[in-house]
Amino acid sequence: MSEQGTGQQDAEQGYDFKAIQDRWLPVWDELKPFEVPVGHESDKPRKYVLDMFPYPSGDLHMGHAEAFCFGDILARYWRGQGHEVLHPIGWDSFGLPAENAAIKRGVDPREWTYANIAQQKASFRAYAPSFDWSRVLHTSDPEYYKWNQWIFLKMYEKGLAYRKASWVNWDPVDQTVLANEQVLADGTSERSGAMVVKKKLTQWYFRITDYADRLLDDLDALEGRWPAKVLSMQRNWIGRSRGAEVEFEIEGRDARVPVFTTRPDTLHGATFMVVAPDSDLAAELAAGASGPVRMQFQAYLEATQKQTEIERQSTDREKTGIFLDHFAVNPVNGERIPVWASDYVLADYGHGAIMAVPAHDQRDLDFALKFDLPVRVVVDVRDEEGEPLQDPAVSGVATSGDGTMLNSAELDGLGKDDAIARAIETLEARGTGRATTTYRLRDWLISRQRYWGTPIPILYAEDGTMQPVAEAALPVQLPAAAGLDLKPKGSSPLGAATEWATVVDPETGETLTRDPDTMDTFVDSSWYYFRFLSANDPTQAFDPAEAKKWAPVDQYVGGVEHAILHLLYSRFITKVMFDLGYIDFEEPFVDMLNQGMVLLDGAKMSKSKGNLVEFASELEEHGADALRVTLAFAGPPEDDIDWADVSVQGSAKFLARAWRIAHDVEVGGAPVGVAFDGGDKALRRSTHQLLIDGPQLAESYKFNVLIARLMEQVNVTRKAIDSGCGVADPAVRESAEAIAVVLSMYAPYAAEDMWAMLGHEPTVALVEWPKGDESLTVVDEVLMIVQVDGKVRDKITVSASITDADAETAARASANAQRAIGDREIVKVIARAPKIVSIATKPAA
């Protein structure tokens, strides 16, 4: 392969990234160094390094460049540490953008999607992440989505996939339902940006709430391995809340009404009940009320439903409500309390009804004061000085803290925790309540009324009974888009594909109709990391034996925007796979890195705002290596990078300096294979310190610091060549080789070219890091700090093996130190040889 070397590249020409890229791309295409064939056996330890796979909307952008840069650094790092690394790539290629583009331009979503994929593949090739291209997958391939359907059927069998009628989030622009997770905090759709409305529809759900406790509790084991932010967001989202269910009788109604409360201790202070206006209970109670109340309620319900999410969520809104003309009975004291409907109670949380304790809950208090309802204090809450807080009815401030119970019969005198425990005991003994837990997490709504997704493998008979498609009949392929009207119209376009939708049961001859909806594309991405393990296997979703070998993913890299959706769903599906016995672990991603965003002038880049840095043009102008070094050197990977603050030129300059060292060695250095033993000590020390420190820096994601160390190494090597030991010293070759190997995780092209100039065969990407030798890093003499009263007064050169006593003597002898001490009295001397001696003084007596 020597003709691939750079003998023909003369010194005048220097570092030329274009020539280098052109030289090595074909070689790598030939070598396929990162392919790990399925079933391949190796003695090496394994690492599964995965980037969140991209959505193929247009070409790659700077965000991709950053994310895939960090993932690739880690993949290449682990190869350098002697691991066999699986680093696959695929495309999350189902979804609305393809469909919307198709509608807008009249092209087939397939064409649009696969054209974009081809473009991204081409960009990736130049950018050169070390992907295993033999395992590529696209979720829109029938070979892939067949297994979505298989998972759906498995879940259906287990009762984890079910259909129900419910109020759902409806996106009026995309004309489809959305999962709770796809509705942003301001009530708009994360996709279309439209204000989401509520609609009652029968839809398919995955029973993720069955897994709420496991999804929450298992987060503890990810502490320190996942970003704290993601863990907290997931905990928030699951929103477990422990408390009690309390049953209230309602006069004139047979069945008791359960309410959920986290404060059963305050039950004696419950002076009214509030139900959600859009709950079944409210409708029922209103129906049994007087005519005027019925009309008022109807108007109130309509007003509630018309409200946008923003209006409804505004916290400092006046309370509104309607008295429902009914009374409930407080189970602990038999008191008659009025039942109201108000929109501050949510229909889909708890039981859609609450016991209102206005003295100790601000919302209830606001409501009580507005409608003149009684407020009864049952907890004696004190301030920091131990003074009782003002009566909430007067102050308007509910006292929600801990305190001593009063006005609460047998609970009187107890503290909060004891009172809660006691209250629950009492309720359970009387059969009017029990300890219980509720969650904010809702079941995962997976039906979508759109075309470009996985068909739901369910058939309906004429009488409406459903039957799953037989596993052998999978995949249920999407019909061709041609001839279908893909415009959103509230029902799936697939329903109109009559030929596709109608199936005759071969056994019974019965005519069946296919479910016309497609699955949420988050189903696709919730298990793709398994598919990579058996990407081309037509017989199974993935091979459990391969999963045992490779999974879970050791290192996951991606944006924090998926902190809830994708990661929660993936964790859920992984647990389902565990329960089904296909895998022996319950968490899919062992370690996770969230890269920051790439900004321009402090703002998110956007084409419409005109502040865009184009990945393609940067790649063209500076090359992949300089781009990658720039991204990695800019700062910690979790931080945002402002493109206005970085210098791609600076990175290119560094690469050229590194490259020139290898070039100098090629021209006048020690021969390849030379023993490094006799080489320059100082340079060798630096080289080996780099090799020793490198791993801990890389493994703690301090890629920027490791590049700084590489720069220092290049600088000291330059100095050694020009004004030190000279280029022919073996230590220079040793340093150059170490630089090439370490640099290869950041700048694969430059490193490969250096490696060739240094007389080695490709590819440097598979070369293990030379071992750093601790014995070469010991120094004879060090600079010792002498402090007097905490201030540095001198720096003296001492033997590295100096004793504490000798260090103290040397420090006391320092003229600078003596001057600082003056006539003060030394009270204490702390010696930490050979680093520092600290002298503490006080004024002379």
Partner RNA sequence: GCGCAAGUGGCGGAAUGGUAGACGCGCUGGCUUCAGGUGCCAGUGCCCGCAAGGGCGUGGGGGUUCAAGUCCCCCCUUGCGCACCA
Helices (H), 492-647: 498-501, 521-525, 528-531, 544-550, 565-579, 615-633
Give the binding range for RNA (CB under 7 A) out of 256-264, 507-515, 587-595, 800-808.
256-264
Contact present, 1 and 28 (Cβ < 8 Å):
no
Q: How far is the CB of 442 from RNA (least distance, A)?
A: 9
Give dist(CA 200, CA 169) in Å, integer.
Answer: 9
712 lines the binding site for RNA (CB under 7 A): yes
DSSP state string for 567-594: HHHHHHHHHHHHHTTS-S-S-SEEEEEE
CB-based contacts of 237, cutoff 8 Å, min separation 6 = 181, 440, 441, 564, 568
Closest contact distance (angstroms) between CB of 574 and RNA is 22
Number of residues that bind RNA (CB under 7 A): 83
Binding to RNA (CB under 7 A): which residues in 262-291? Answer: 262-263, 276
Q: Which of 635, 695, 759, 772 binds RNA (CB under 7 A)?
A: 635
Q: What angle do CA 21, 25, 31 make, to 5 degrees?
A: 145
Q: Per rule CB under 7 A, is residue 654 in the interface with RNA?
A: yes
Interface with RNA by CB under 7 A: which range of 80-88, 99-107, 643-651, 766-774?
643-651
Q: How many other CB atoms are found less than 10 A from the CB of residue 432? A: 19
Tell me if residue 191 falls in helix, strand or coil.
Answer: coil
When the beta carbons of 148 and 169 are compared against RNA, the nearer one is 169
- Chain residues 45-84 in contact with RNA, contact rule CB under 7 A: none
Q: Does 812 bind RNA (CB under 7 A)?
A: no
Nearer to RNA, 11 or 115 (CB): 11
Instruction: List helix spans (H) across 351-415.
Output: 362-371, 392-395
Query: Which DSSP string do the residues of 732-768 spell out, in sequence order?
Result: HHHHHHHHHHHHTTT-HHHHHHHHHHTT--S-GGGPP
Q: How far apart are CA 321 and CA 296, in angstroms?
A: 10
32 binds RNA, rule: CB under 7 A: no
Confirm or reject binding of residue 42 to RNA (CB under 7 A): no
Distance CA 145, CA 132 (A): 21
- Evaluate whether 359 touches 256 at the Cβ level (below 8 Å): no
One residue of 521, 793, 814, 833 binding RNA per CB under 7 A: 793
Asked if residue 256 binds RNA (CB under 7 A), the reply is no
The verdict on 606 binding RNA (CB under 7 A) reads: no
Measured from the CB atom, the residue of 321 and 493 that comes closer to RNA is 321
Nearer to RNA, 120 or 438 (CB): 438
The SS3 of residue 723 is helix
Helix (H) or strand (E) holding 558, with range, is strand 553-559
Residue 796 interacts with RNA (CB under 7 A): yes or no: no
Structure tokens at 652: 């290119």
Which residues, including other chains, have CB under 8 Å from residue 343's CB and lie 6 or more apart? 276, 277, 304, 307, 312, 320, 321
How far apart are the C-alpha atoms of 736 and 714, rounded to whole Å?
8
Report, in Å, the least distance between residue 645 CB and RNA.
4
Determine the interface stretch with RNA among 61-69, 491-499, 728-736, 836-844 (rule: CB under 7 A): 836-844
Which residues, numbered 428-447, are part of the site for RNA (CB under 7 A)? 438, 440
CB of 726 to RNA, least distance (A): 15
Nearer to RNA, 519 or 736 (CB): 736
Q: Which of 103, 195, 656, 682 binds RNA (CB under 7 A)?
A: 656
Instruction: Indicate the residue among 179 and 459 with the shorter CB distance to RNA.
Output: 179
Instruction: Kindly identify the residues of this chain, within the stretch 553-572, that bind RNA according to CB under 7 A.
Output: 564
Q: Which C-beta is closer to RNA: that of 48 or that of 344? A: 344
Name 323's bridge partners.
Answer: 340
Q: CB neighbours of 285 closer than 8 A, spacing ≥ 6?
A: 250, 253, 275, 324, 325, 326, 339, 341
Give residues with Cβ within 8 angstroms of 325, minimum separation 6.
Answer: 285, 288, 289, 290, 293
Q: Tell me if 609 contacts RNA by CB under 7 A.
A: no
Helices (H), 332-415: 362-371, 392-395
- Within 720-739, the residues that bind RNA by CB under 7 A are 722
Site for RNA in 226-255 (CB under 7 A): 228-229, 232-233, 236-237, 239, 241, 243
Interface map 336-355 toward RNA (x if CB under 7 A)? -------xxxx--xx-x-x-
Nearest to 666 by CA among 756, 557, 546, 531: 756
* Sole residue written with tokens 């909806």: 517
- Name residues contacting RNA, limited to 185-204 (CB under 7 A): 185
Site string for RNA, 516-555 (x = CB under 7 A): ----------------------------------------
Nearer to RNA, 591 or 794 (CB): 794
Site for RNA contains 717 (CB under 7 A): no
Report the nearest approach of RNA to the CB of residue 154 (Å).
30
By C-beta, is 102 or 379 nearer to RNA? 379
Nearest to 128 by CA among 788, 763, 777: 763
CA 639/CA 487 separation, integer angstroms: 40
429 vs 13: CA distance, rounded Å: 90
Tell me if 639 contacts RNA by CB under 7 A. Answer: yes
Nearer to RNA (CB atom), residue 98 or residue 212: 212
Site for RNA in 688-707 (CB under 7 A): 702, 704-705, 707
How many residues in total does the chain contain? Answer: 845
Segment holding 242, helix H or strand E:
strand 241-250
- What's the CA gap between 733 and 677, in Å, rounded? 12
CB of 275 to RNA, least distance (A): 9
Asked if 139 is part of the footprint of RNA (rule: CB under 7 A), the reply reads no
Give dist(CA 558, CA 821) in Å, integer. 56
* Near RNA in 89-118, by CB under 7 A: none
Which residue in the set 783, 800, 805, 813 belongs to the binding site for RNA (CB under 7 A)? 783
Q: Does 119 bind RNA (CB under 7 A)?
A: no
- 489-508 residues near RNA, rule: CB under 7 A: none
Output 412 or 640, the one with its CB closest to RNA. 640
Contacts to RNA from residues 288-327, by CB under 7 A: 312-315, 317, 319
Identify whether the C-beta of residue 410 lies closer than 8 Å to the C-beta of residue 224.
Answer: no
Q: Which is nearer to RNA, 541 or 725 (CB)?
A: 725
Distance CA 208, CA 573 (A): 9
Tell whether residue 212 is a contact of RNA (CB under 7 A). Answer: no
The answer to the question of residue 830 lying near RNA (CB under 7 A) is yes
Query: Quick one: 114 or 643, whose CB is closer to RNA?
Result: 643
C-beta closer to RNA: residue 276 or 478: 276
Binding mask 356-385 for RNA (x = CB under 7 A): -----x-x--x-------------------
Does the footprint of RNA cover residue 821 (CB under 7 A)?
no
Q: Which of 163, 214, 253, 657 binds RNA (CB under 7 A)?
A: 657
Calpha distance 174→191 (Å, rounded): 8
Among 26, 58, 636, 671, binds RNA (CB under 7 A): 636
CB of residue 362 to RNA, shortest distance in Å: 8
The reply on whether position 816 binds RNA by CB under 7 A is yes
The minimum distance between CB 716 and RNA, in angstroms, equals: 9
Does 790 engage in binding with RNA (CB under 7 A)?
yes
Q: Can you tell me the distance from the alpha carbon of 330 to that of 429, in angstroms, rounded to the nearest whole number?
A: 16
Q: Please say which residue, 23 or 562, places its beta carbon nearer to RNA.
A: 562
Hey, how many other C-beta atoms are within 10 angstroms of the C-beta on 106?
A: 8
